[in-house]
Amino acid sequence: MDLLTFMQQMVNGFSLGSMYALIAIGYTMVYGVLRLINFAHGDIMMVGAFLAYAFISIFNLPFAFAVLLSVVISALVGILTDKIAYKPLREAPRISLLITAIGISFFLENAFTVFAGGIPRPFPVPEYMQNIFNVSGIIFSTSSIMVPIVTLVLLLAILFVLYKTKYGMAIRALSFDIKTVNLMGIDANKIISIVFALGSALAAVGGIFWVINYPSVEPMMGVLVGLKAFAAAVVGGIGSVTGAVLGGFIIGFTEVVVVAFFPDLAGYKDAFAFVFLIFVLLFKPTGIMGKDLEKSRF
């Protein structure tokens, strides 16, 4: 194996890892405030990609505008799922929340299958995203440069919101104790809506990047990616945004590198994230950067 292939795989892993990271941030934030594995999060990613597809190929909107619009609408969908399905269950045992989340996930998948059809559709990737650069033998596409950059910018933005703004302080307070936060005069439901909006917007960005790299849209696309991103969030330490990004990169790199150097294992590609997850949990049950959030259980 030469350095060139190695560098090439690094580029690919970086790009894939960024997409997992973007989706993992949403998981980790929702888990941080509600202690809920939002199973519907992967499907929000699918919704984002689908909306972008619809705006571009049906309504002929320009790419950038379509992306912006679908990100905003996805954020609204995220808030809506919280208001409809999770808010009435705030005081309920956490298992009820989890089951509802699975229900929402299946609802989104099947509703899109019914009304948009289950057949994968080609995603219209704009010309300028398909440019290929060759830097001394390593092949870059526009998206493989853009994805990590946008991810890092968004990560910094999220960290800024979390640690430098009033809302961020409320979010962090919420992750300690939801009841006390209400007593302090903060509207917990509003803050939770903000968390869902931020997470869903990032998931939509991740979904659009995903279909730029693998240009086909279908209702079930969010399932596996979402689960791997969740595995990434747990590996990194759930509840920690930096941990989620780290976990996303680890899972992405593992997948790319193992497949590149052990082609025999390519068929098992989708299982790596989970095997890795089980190993990490065996040695560090809270993930790499995680705190013990498991004190209250359902």
Partner 1 sequence: MFTKDRLINLSIILLAIWFTWFAQNHFEEYTVRIINNVAIFIILAVSYNLINGVTGQFSLEPNGFVAVGAYVTAILTVDANGMLYQYDIEDPYPWILALQTNFFWALIFSGIISSLLALSLSFPVFRVRGDYLAIVTLGFGFIIRILAINSPEITNGSLGINDIPQASNLYWTGGFAIVAVLVILNIIYSKYGRAMKAVRDDEDAAIAMGVNTFKIKTLAFTTSAFFEGIGGGLLAALLTSISPDLFTFLLTFQLLIIIVLGGLGSTTGAILGTIFVMAGLEWMRFLDEPMNIFGYETDGLPGMRMVVFSLLLIIVMLFAREGLMGKKELKDLFKKKKVDK
* CB of 21 or CB of 71, closer to partner 1: 21
Is 163 one of the binding residues for partner 1 (CB under 8 A)? no
CB of 230 to partner 1, least distance (A): 6
Given 11, 21, 37, 162, the residue binding partner 1 (CB under 8 A): 37
Q: Which of 73, 186, 277, 289 binds partner 1 (CB under 8 A)?
A: 277
> Does 114 sit near partner 1 (CB under 8 A)?
yes
Q: In the window 232-261, what residues touch partner 1 (CB under 8 A)?
A: 234
Other Cβ atoms within 10 Å of 161 Cβ, number? 16
Segment 41-100, which members bind partner 1 (CB under 8 A)?
85, 88-89, 92, 94-96, 98-100
Q: Which stretch binds partner 1 (CB under 8 A): 17-25, 51-59, 205-213, 264-272?
A: 264-272
Nearest-approach distance from CB 20 to partner 1, in angstroms: 15
Instruction: Note whether 294 binds partner 1 by CB under 8 A.
Output: yes
For tokens 């992405």, name the residue: 252
Binding residues for partner 1, total number by CB under 8 A: 44
DSSP string, the chain: --HHHHHHHHHHHHHHHHHHHHHHHHHHHHHHHH----TTHHHHHHHHHHHHHHHHHTS---HHHHHHHHHHHHHHHHHHHIIIIIGGGTTS-HHHHHHHHHHHHHHHHHHHHHHH-SS-EE----GGGS-EEEETTEEEEHHHHHHHHHHHHHHHHHHHHHHHSHHHHHHHHHHH-HHHHHHTT--HHHHHHHHHHHHHHHHHHHHHHHHHHS-EE-TTHHHHHHHHHHHHHHHH-TT-HHHHHHHHHHHHHHHHHHHHH-GGGGGGGGGHHHHHHHHHHHH-TT-SS----TTS--
CB of 156 to partner 1, least distance (A): 28
10 binds partner 1 (CB under 8 A): no
**Distance in Å, CB of 26 to partner 1, minimum:** 15
- The minimum distance between CB 226 and partner 1, in angstroms, equals 11
- The total number of residues written for the chain in this structure: 298
The 90-109 contact track toward partner 1, x by CB under 8 A, reads --x-xxx-xxx-xxx-xx--
Please report whether residue 262 would count as binding partner 1 according to CB under 8 A.
Answer: no
**Any idea what the Cα angle at residue 209 is, between residues 206 and 233, rounded to 5°?**
30
The residue ranges that bind partner 1 (CB under 8 A) are 31, 35-37, 85, 88-89, 92, 94-96, 98-100, 102-104, 106-107, 110-111, 113-114, 118, 223, 227, 230-231, 234, 267-268, 270-271, 273-275, 277-278, 281-282, 285, 294, 297-298
